[in-house]
Amino acid sequence: MSLSKNFSSNFSSLVEPSDRILVAVSGGLDSVVLLHLLKNSVNDLAIVHCNFQLREKDSDEDEKFVKSLAKFYNVPIFSKRFDTKSEQKKSKQSIQMAARNLRYAYFSDLLKKENYDYVAVAHHADDQIETFFINLLRGSGVKGLRGMLAKREQIIRPLLKFSRQDLENYAIKNNLKHREDISNSDDYYLRNNIRHHLIPSLETLEKSAKISILQSMENLQDLETQSLQDLENLQKCGFSATQIRSIQKTIGKHSGKQFTSKTHRAITHGGRLIIEPLLNSICTGVPTCTPLNAHLHAPLQINLINIKNFVLNTNPKIAQLDFDKLQFPLTLRHWEKGDFFIPFGGRNKQKLSDFFINQKLSRFEKERILLLCSGNDIAWIIGHRIDNRYKISSKTKRVLVIETVQ
């Protein structure tokens, strides 16, 4: 993916044109590229630099270099030195975590004091993959494995869709100078070990390993988003905190598990959660809630036509039956255990329970199913399939057309 062609549209989806942006610049390749891109995309831009004083003269040289960039681009700069080692001793955290906490606390303080809208940081796709494995080895859940978000509160990451190679190519093309952090080559750090050894090993097994991992992380982000929506809907529908915890543990592990609040019931179906109101209850503001069809009522439009006017329609919501094969009056009922029919196009009987499994219908969907019956036979599973015994043939003279009306 080309940085020069795709960065602007990606960045514009994260912010408004009038937003004031701080860009975190360490002096390394990633942040230097981000600064160069933002200079052409942001009207009100400033640099923020953190000197953690962990690499003696190198740290000071980084600070000096970033200040020269601010002068070159003619943008304001906010720079601060931290006694990171003392902070690490106080907090009893790793030196990396202590530096991270100092960094983001400084960002938060600047955003408030200087009235900026966002801080842009230079995490890219390769950082995302490394983070995945770090969190995987720590036993993280979905939140950890889905990786960093492109936008979280006032932190934006406009480079997440681009690889380290994309950034290197861009820097070469635009003749961008940057500082090298020698600690990046030290395999003592877990992230470096993953970068230098694990990921190259995976790529020898599968060339597209990085692409596949990133796709899996996107899927996990979608799963987390759906989980948050489910949580909001469960709260709106009166489920207790204890019930919600049980539901969250059940999704993806057990299908058909049912939970009930005073007004609603929720059922797990594969990896999905379906929420429906109980009879005579009202649900407001919850898109997934739809009225439960508790009565044998199906709005149907029925027409009798001559075979000469017959035109085949394959819509499952329309049944076209041989009128003279039907036994009247036709009746409606719910399905029962042991029910069977002969699916259209087939010759053998099939249990409705097996048909529903093949159609991947949830418990709620099966409960809504109504059957149009001719005597003891099921002539039509309404909205799904007609029985082959009542199909139109060369001997048909009259066609009964029945259509569900929404």
Residues near 152 by beta carbon (within 8 Å), at least 6 away in sequence: none
Instruction: Please tell me whether residues 250 and 113 are part of one structural domain.
Output: no
The structure's pTM equals 0.64
pLDDT of the residue at 288: 36
* Residue 52 within any structural domain of the chain: yes
Instruction: Please tell me whether residues 315 and 378 are part of one structural domain.
Output: yes
Two tokens at 369?
């199913």
Crossing angle for the helix pair 164-173 and 3-12, nearest 10 degrees?
120
Q: How many residues does the chain have?
A: 406
Two tokens at 34?
């981000």
DSSP per position, 32-101:
HHHHHHHHTT-SEEEEEEEE---STHHHHHHHHHHHHHHHHHT--EEEEE--HHHHHHHHT--HHHHHHH
Instruction: Please tell me whether residues 320 and 263 are part of one structural domain.
Output: no
**Number of structural domains found in the chain:** 3
Instruction: Please tell me whether residues 269 and 142 are part of one structural domain.
Output: no
8 Å CB contact between 239 and 264 = yes
The C-alpha R_g of the chain, in whole angstroms, comes to 31
pLDDT of the residue at 378: 94
According to DSSP, the residues that pair with 155 across neighbouring strands are 119, 152
Instruction: Please tell me whether residues 266 and 117 are part of one structural domain.
Output: no
Residue 48 identity (one-letter amino acid)? V
Residues near 93 by beta carbon (within 8 Å), at least 6 away in sequence: 101
* Residue 99 within any structural domain of the chain: yes
Question: Cα 98–90–109 angle (5° rounding)?
Answer: 50
Quote the CA–CA distance of 57 and 346 in Å, as a whole number. Answer: 81
Question: Cα 240–245–246 angle (5° rounding)?
Answer: 95
Chunked in runs of 10, what are the mean pLDDT values of the chain (406 residues)? 75 91 96 95 95 91 96 96 92 90 95 96 96 93 90 94 94 94 79 92 94 92 81 86 84 77 79 67 38 46 84 89 88 87 92 91 84 91 94 92 79
Instruction: Please tell me whether residues 260 and 367 are part of one structural domain.
Output: no
pLDDT of the residue at 355: 93
8 Å CB contact between 40 and 205 = no
Quote the CA–CA distance of 136 and 145 in Å, as a whole number. Answer: 7
Element (H, E) at 4: helix 3-12
Quote the CA–CA distance of 30 and 121 in Å, as a whole number. Answer: 9
Domain enclosing residue 27, as ranges: 3-124+138-183
* Residue 308 within any structural domain of the chain: yes
Instruction: Please tell me whether residues 163 and 307 are part of one structural domain.
Output: no
Buried b / exposed e along 330-344 (16+ C-beta atoms within 10 A): beeeebeeebbbbbb
Instruction: Please tell me whether residues 144 and 20 are part of one structural domain.
Output: yes
Quote the CA–CA distance of 64 and 68 in Å, as a whole number. Answer: 6
pLDDT of the residue at 404: 82
Residue 309's domain is classified under what CATH number? 3.50.40.10
Instruction: Please tell me whether residues 337 and 241 are part of one structural domain.
Output: no
Instruction: Please tell me whether residues 58 and 164 are part of one structural domain.
Output: yes
Quote the CA–CA distance of 75 and 363 in Å, as a whole number. Answer: 61
